[in-house]
Amino acid sequence: PVAQHSFFSPSFSYLPHCTNFGKYFPLTNEQAAKSAEQYLSFSSFSRQGLIDQLMYEGFTQEQAEYGVTQNGY
């Protein structure tokens, strides 16, 4: 069982750095948007590159597209 710590909170600021987080915990459109925003804060991505990165992290195609669109891409 997973301990209930703040690390597993959806607002955890390093969520994008947890590879394949979505395989173990349900992800939402809002988390995809936040993850996209965090990636864009320290690196530049093409639209498709950012979608691919979000999908690598465990977001679905639809969630990744939502997250990227919410950040102006």
DSSP 9-69: STT-TTGGGSTTGGGTS---HHHHHHHHHHHHHH----HHHHHHHHHHTT--HHHHHHHHH
* Position 5 confidence tier, pLDDT thresholds 50, 70, 90: very low
pTM tops 0.75, yes or no: no
pLDDT digits (tens, 9 = 90+) for 13-67: 445 455 555 566 778 999 999 999 999 999 999 999 999 999 999 999 999 999 9
